[in-house]
Amino acid sequence: MDDHLPRRAAIFAALGEPVRLALVDRLVIGDLSPGQLATELGLGTNLLSHHLRVLEDAGVIRRIRSEGDRRRSYVQLRVDDETVAAVTRSQSPSQKLPPTVSQVLFVCTANSARSQLAAATWNSVSTIPAASAGTHPAHRVHPSAVAVARRHGLGLEHAVPIKIQDMLGGGDQLVVAVCDNAHEELSPDLPRIHWSIPDPVRRGGQTSFEDAYVQINDRVRHLSAIQADTAEAS
């Protein structure tokens, strides 16, 4: 018997319930708070907690404490799992993507690591151009981010941090906040996707930057495949 069958069976069993499938639909392209999920689906706290626990036990989602407002948490789809990524990529996301996207703008606080890595990774896999910006830009891109990018064939040697105000465009620009602090600071009126990715600068050490890259790479590839499918369908 295939060693992966029990794992796949657990995932499909968790998804074989309408409310849990609806929860996953809302997490296909970005992270949401439990409060957002409860409001969108009209669920009480206890019922939501039950369904999230089933999905978490099956390895479909993870729950993350915000690095900004520690009272907040976010629910994140486990797109690092090949089965979860494959199954959910074929679903129609409830967080809608623009039918056409002229640019993807990745945003974090300092624009010195995560958003720079995300834009460089996106540009390596998609024909849609990507850029990055920060809510409070640093003076330079972090040397460890440059080193990680170099190891993975991405060039950040000449990148410079930029203010988000200088990069925001029109309605066909897709904004992705890869930082809890930036996401929580940005106006609620700015449409965006949120990815809760830990800050490697705060954590320190080369391993933290490598871990951030791995998460970013998984999520960029997942979103770019969904965006391509969305564009083709429209």
**Domains of the chain, with CATH numbers?**
5-89 (1.10.10.10), 103-233 (3.40.50.2300)
DSSP 8-state secondary structure symbol assigned to residue 172: T
What are the Cα distances from residue 115, in Å, to 4, 13, 51, 93, 119?
Answer: 34, 35, 32, 23, 6
Residue 2 has a pLDDT of 60
pLDDT tens for each residue of 112-163: 999 999 999 999 999 999 999 999 999 999 999 999 999 999 989 999 999 9
Phi, psi torsion values for 119, nearest 5 degrees? -65, -45
Which is more confident, 4 or 19? 19
Whole-Å CA distances, 200 to 61, 148, 187, 210, 222: 22, 11, 24, 8, 21
Reported as a single tens digit per residue, the pLDDT across 173-217 is 999 999 999 999 999 999 999 999 999 999 988 999 999 999 999
pTM, 2 dp: 0.93
CB 107 within 8 A of CB 182: yes
Give the number of other CB atoms < 10 A from CB of residue 123.
17
Q: Report the C-alpha gap between 159 and 167 in whole angstroms.
A: 14
pLDDT in tens, 56-105: 999 999 999 999 998 999 999 999 998 898 888 776 677 777 778 899 99
For residue 51, the model assigns a pLDDT of 97
